[in-house]
Amino acid sequence: MAALGTLPGAAAAASVPRSQRRRGAPSLAAAYVPEGARLVCGRQLRPAPVLASPPATLSGPARRRFLRAAPAAAASGSASAGEAKPQGFAERYPTLVTGFFFFLWYFLNVIFNILNKKIFDYFPYPYFVSASHLFVGVLYCLIGWAFGFPKRAPINSTLLKPLIPVAVCHAIGHVTSTVSFAAVAVSFAHTIKALEPFFNASASQFILGQPVPLTLWLSLVPVVVGVSVASLTELSFNWTGFINAMISNISFTYRSIYAKKAMTDMDSTNLYAYISIIALIVCIPPALIIEGPQLVQHGFKDAIAKVGLTKLISNFFVVGLFYHLYNQVATNTLERVAPLSHAIGNVLKRVFVIGFSIIVFGNKITTQTGIGTSIAIAGVALYSFMKAKIEEEKRQIKSA
């Protein structure tokens, strides 16, 4: 075994008479290494427990007590110094934990989309609904900070300034998505939102000046064709839903651009909390201006007459909680897996949402719409795979 290094007092070790190196003598590491310098390879050395003979002055019961206590002390010292910290479930079964994160991400997203769509049956005010999502998320974050789960990260003007554009784009994207979900079928809204990679590639090429390989552009052709085919025969099609979904795609693209410029050392949970707070402040004025008069006049009264005040408030709270949690779990999942796995998972999530929404709401779709949606989703999967592969190759070249 290669030596770790020369311990202080090694020279003195050679001068110790052989007669004194008897069994039971204290180790040289414990005897000669100073208390403040017992570090080898980053670990602190501890004196080994010594099973010494009882003093000659002890006899009878005292001698027996000494002999009984010595092995126990040795065992205790050995356990504290030599035993490794037992692994938890997450360390022993990382694949199962990651799989659970994906399941939770899908589950929360599907439930959010279903419950959110049902709210519009008796409360057709998407600007207020989108603000309520953020309000519940902010409330959740504030309660978590109050109890230290997680501990609130400090923020100042320097950190806040780059987060504002990210939060504004997040707010616009969320509101327009909600308006789209209220206007058209959930399945069709998600089909339109499948165009988001096309806008991301366009922004990278023409705004950030980062060349996009031709293969990536070609992989986006099925996405554009599929969405176009699905839109032509979609039974729930209307321009309000279509245009707002497109605005949402553009907003989330710009959110990604600004997010790259606002990279901080803050953890994702705190970062998303601050973004939610700013986004809520952005969403409140449009909700009051556009829908405020209608809500005061008859909006709340009609909803309460249909479902009751308790159910109305509880539905807002549950949907908002699912919205915040699915976004947070999506971020946590991204931190656990490679970009390729997360990209494929995101595509499968959209398939799950479209499929479950068709089953739950009984949306009738034409054969052409189904084919167009399938082509679009396949194109997104191809694009995500190729993009993640290119990014991985870039990382390998940099690390080489």
pLDDT tens digits for range 338-353:
666 766 777 788 888 8
Q: CA nearest 266: which of 118, 162, 170?
A: 162
For residue 8, what are its two tokens? Answer: 């202080």
Average pLDDT for 322-333: 87
Residue 245, C-beta contacts closer than 8 angstroms, at least 6 positions apart: 176, 177, 180, 184, 189, 192, 193
Q: Is residue 214 part of a domain?
A: yes
Q: Is residue 67 part of a domain?
A: no
Please tell me the predicted confidence (pLDDT) of residue 65: 57
Count of domains observed in the chain: 1
Average pLDDT for 116-126: 95
Residue 83: is its pLDDT beyond 60? no
Q: Is residue 28 part of a domain?
A: no
Written as one letter, the residue type at 174 is H
**Higher per-residue confidence, 280 vs 101:** 280
Residue 305: is its pLDDT beyond 60? yes
Residue 139, C-beta contacts closer than 8 angstroms, at least 6 positions apart: none
Q: Is residue 75 part of a domain?
A: no
C-alpha of 184 from chain center? 29
Pick the most confident of 3-7, 91-95, 191-195, 287-291: 287-291
Written as one letter, the residue type at 288 is L
Q: Is residue 285 part of a domain?
A: yes
b (16+ CB within 10 A) / e for 243-272: ebbbbbbbbbbbbbbbbeebeeebeebbbb
d(CA 262, CA 271): 10
Q: Is residue 29 part of a domain?
A: no
Q: Is residue 195 part of a domain?
A: yes
For residue 356, what are its two tokens? Answer: 């479950």
pLDDT band for position 31 (50/70/90)? very low
The torsion of the CA quartet 381, 385, 391, 397, rounded to 10 degrees, works out to -170
SS (H, E, C) 310-335: HHHHHHHHHHHHHHHHHHHHHHHHHH
Q: Is residue 171 part of a domain?
A: yes
Average pLDDT for 258-283: 86
What residues make up the domain containing 250? 93-399
Q: CA nearest 363: which of 229, 127, 243, 191?
A: 191
Please tell me the predicted confidence (pLDDT) of residue 113: 92
Q: Based on the number of CB atoms within 10 Å of its own CB, is 396 exposed (0-12), middle (13-18) or buried (19 or more)?
A: exposed
pLDDT band for position 63 (50/70/90)? low
